[in-house]
Amino acid sequence: MKKRLLEVRNLRVGFQTEQGLLTAVDDVDFTLECGKMMGLVGESGCGKSVTARALMRLLEQPSGRVLGGEVILEGRDVLTLPLEAMRRIRGKEIAMIFQEPMTALNPVHRVGRQIVENILLHQEIGTRAALRRAVELMEWVGIPAPDERINDYPHQLSGGMRQRVMIAMALSCNPRILIADEPTTALDVTVQAQILDLIKRLQKDTGMAVILITHDLGVVAETCDDVAVMYAGRIVERGPVGTVFQAPLHPYTKGLMSCLPRLDHPPKTMLPIIPGIVPGLRDLPPGCRFASRCPYPHGAEVTTNRQPWRECGGGHGVEACACFANTI
């Protein structure tokens, strides 16, 4: 049985705004096992990136704050660690690839210096050895002529090359967990495939666990072992990829799967849509947040009371909304 590397329990994250405290992530639970890749999927604004930043304790300050919960990394709750201890963990035990490499990389420093900086911060190693390690990492992630590219500035590299530099930085200290926050955003499909293949290959080579944040279900189906589906700040369904995608239980997951184009449909077939819009953070119902868009009949109890979580066996779980209780 695989060892649990990371356990997230009842994580709640909020932001202080002019309208008051708004909860962006509400009671999120999941576990990550050694050597596994988990996909975190959902619409833009559902809380995926906020969850990732909370795990790294990189929430925007001073407005962002963790309101409750635990993030247990091998027996330690990283949310309660002193800041200096968290800095030793961040980049060494948990690393992150950010969504847009052009803004994540420092534009006034050469990419080699930025990789070396992380190595020197976490390893007892000299500058020359760190520089050699940086060249090796750049070659490892597929950057041609790494001994030359190491002296380039971010603007001198293509989007795909910048993303590879970000991956090299993230892997420079052999982290136990890699968080990839939409690593293929704004890249063409060929480069997307190369980056995803690279992450999967490096995961197998190093044995690290990966959290892949994306809104692309096809990417999750091809690369991930498990999947967690988020909607309006909550995880509504999670489990093995094959189980969740072949037999989704939550109406939102079913809606996402039905919206995918299928090869066995006639050409120019209109794709279904999920009607309605995601409720705003100021208008979140206390009960099922998908109720206003749900195709199944439901009563007031669904929108006024938090729906229980149901474990369905084999690691598959779902927020058991009363509106679809008779459909499973």
d(CA 228, CA 324): 19
Higher-confidence residue: 188 or 29? 29
| 98 domain residue, yes or no | no
- Residues 130 and 65 both lie in one domain: no
H or E segment at 32?
strand 20-33
User: Which of residues 120, 147, 174 is at a domain's end?
Assistant: 174
- Residues 170 and 189 both lie in one domain: no
- Residues 144 and 79 both lie in one domain: no
DSSP string, 150-191: TT--GGGS-HHHHHHHHHHHHHTT--SEEEEESTTTT--HHH
| 317 domain residue, yes or no | yes
Average pLDDT, the chain: 89
Per DSSP bridges, beta strands 309-311 and 317-319 are: antiparallel
Higher-confidence residue: 195 or 127? 127
pLDDT of 326: 45
When pLDDT is cut at 50, 70 and 90, the band that residue 322 belongs to is low
- Residues 215 and 321 both lie in one domain: yes
Spatial contact of 15 and 22, defined as CB atoms under 8 Å apart: yes
Percentage of the chain surpassing pLDDT 90?
53
Q: Is 142 left (phi over 0), alpha (psi -120 to 50) or beta?
A: left
Distance set, CA 276 to CA 55, 214, 249, 293, 294 (Å): 31, 22, 20, 6, 9
pLDDT (tens digit per residue) in 258-279: 888 888 878 888 888 898 889 8
pLDDT of 133: 92
DSSP string, 202-255: HHHHH--EEEEEES-HHHHHHH-SEEEEEETTEEEEEEEHHHHHHS--SHHHHH
Q: Which of 16-25, 29-38, 55-64, 187-196 has the lowest mean pLDDT?
A: 187-196
The enclosing domain of 25 has a CATH number of 3.40.50.300
Whether the per-residue pLDDT at 140 is higher than 90: the answer is no
Look up residue 302 and give its DSSP letter.
H
Spatial contact of 139 and 146, defined as CB atoms under 8 Å apart: yes
Whether the per-residue pLDDT at 255 is higher than 60: the answer is yes
pLDDT (tens digit per residue) in 141-164: 889 999 999 999 999 998 888 988
Q: What is the pTM of this model?
A: 0.91
pLDDT of 2: 62
- Residues 39 and 89 both lie in one domain: yes
- Residues 122 and 237 both lie in one domain: no
- Residues 69 and 199 both lie in one domain: yes
- In three-state secondary structure terms, 73 is strand
pLDDT of 33: 92
Domain limits for position 159: 103-174
User: Which of residues 174, 198, 215 is at a domain's end?
Assistant: 174
| 19 domain residue, yes or no | yes
d(CA 71, CA 74): 10
As given in the structure block, the two tokens for residue 95 are: 């690393």
pLDDT (tens digit per residue) in 16-39: 998 899 999 999 999 999 999 999
- Residues 133 and 37 both lie in one domain: no
d(CA 187, CA 190): 8
User: Which of residues 156, 174, 192 is at a domain's end?
Assistant: 174
Mean pLDDT of all residues in 197-220: 89
- Residues 132 and 277 both lie in one domain: no
